[in-house]
């Protein structure tokens, strides 16, 4: 289900989620008012309004909490990508003092690593199919760099240089671990169920002006649906139209290519 939603363009998803929900809320309010009579109890709106206010506050807290969780997850993924690209550039600079051909070989492997991440891993992450096979190219590049390090005399490879390559591997692991949906399915159930209950309470209330009642119900529905739409867009950091950018790795390739050979 997540992969299906991620494959839909953001504008079309907005029309389906927000437009569809608003249309159903408007039509539902109008149809319900046509089939029901005005309540005779004068305290009907007072009692229903009190319960509606309580439900609304609970759902608002849940919705706000969810948006914060998803946004923090997305920002953490962006930070992981930036840190990994920065670690790659650090390895580039630390190995610039290596003798040839080792220096050129390391830089070639770093370029290959960045290209594997951009062209292979990003695509398979977006498709939700990242497996070990798709990561072999990037892992092979790191292993080759370690082989080059070990082939050099100990005096030419200082501890800081090996630490920077270790850091690249660590940052890579952090990036891969951030490729998870921020929300578990049970929380999605709570969001959808809470939204439906909140809108249903709007239908229970009564106003003399049917069109105004329908408009207010549709506005509240649109606000809730828009929040859910935003959550869907950023729930998977590396998928969909608002996925984390590869610009940091493209900049790393630019840095490598700008060095004299």
Q: What is the pTM of this model?
A: 0.80
Q: The tokens of 56 are what? A: 């609304």
Q: What local confidence, expressed as pLDDT, does residue 136 receive?
A: 78
CB atoms within 10 A of CB 246: 18
Please enumerate in sequence order all residues whose Cβ is within 8 A of that of 175, keeping only pairs 6 or more positions apart, or say none: 77, 80, 81, 84
Q: What integer pLDDT is reported at residue 103 of this predicted model?
A: 87
Report the pLDDT value the prediction gives residue 155, as an integer from 0 to 100.
Answer: 76
pLDDT score for 221 = 95
- Listed as ranges, residues in the chain with pLDDT below 50 are none
Of residues 165, 157, 170, the one with CA closest to residue 92: 165
* C-alpha–C-alpha distance, residues 96 and 41, integer Å: 83
The two three-digit tokens of residue 109, written as one number: 């492997």
3-state secondary structure of 226: helix
The span from the CA of 186 to the CA of 169, in Å, is 33
């Amino acid at each position: 289900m997540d992969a299906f939603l991620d494959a839909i363009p953001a504008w079309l998803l907005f029309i389906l989620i927000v437009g569809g929900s608003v249309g159903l809320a408007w039509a539902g309010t109008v149809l319900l008012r046509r089939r029901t009579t005005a309540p005779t109890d004068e305290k009907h709106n007072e009692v229903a309004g009190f319960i509606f206010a309580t439900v609304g506050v609970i759902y608002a807290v849940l919705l706000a909490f969810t948006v914060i969780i998803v946004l923090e997850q997305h920002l953490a993924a962006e930070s992981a990508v930036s840190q990994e690209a920065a670690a790659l550039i650090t390895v580039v600079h630390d190995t610039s003092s290596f003798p040839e051909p080792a220096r050129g070989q390391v830089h070639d492997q770093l370029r290959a690593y960045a290209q594997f991440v951009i062209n292979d891993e990003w695509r398979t992450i977006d498709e939700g199919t990242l497996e070990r096979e798709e990561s072999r190219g990037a892992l092979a590049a790191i292993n080759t760099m370690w082989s080059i390090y070990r082939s050099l005399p100990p005096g030419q490879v200082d501890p800081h240089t090996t630490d920077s390559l270790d850091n690249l591997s660590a940052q890579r692991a952090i990036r891969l671990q951030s490729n998870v949906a921020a929300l578990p399915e049970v929380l999605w159930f709570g969001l959808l169920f809470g939204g439906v209950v909140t809108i249903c309470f709007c239908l229970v209330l009564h106003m003399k002006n049917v069109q105004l009642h329908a408009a207010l119900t549709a506005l509240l529905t649109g606000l809730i649906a828009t929040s859910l739409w935003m959550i869907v867009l950023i729930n998977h950091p590396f998928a969909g139209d608002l996925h984390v950018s590869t610009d940091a790795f493209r900049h790393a390739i630019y840095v490598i290519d700008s060095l004299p050979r």
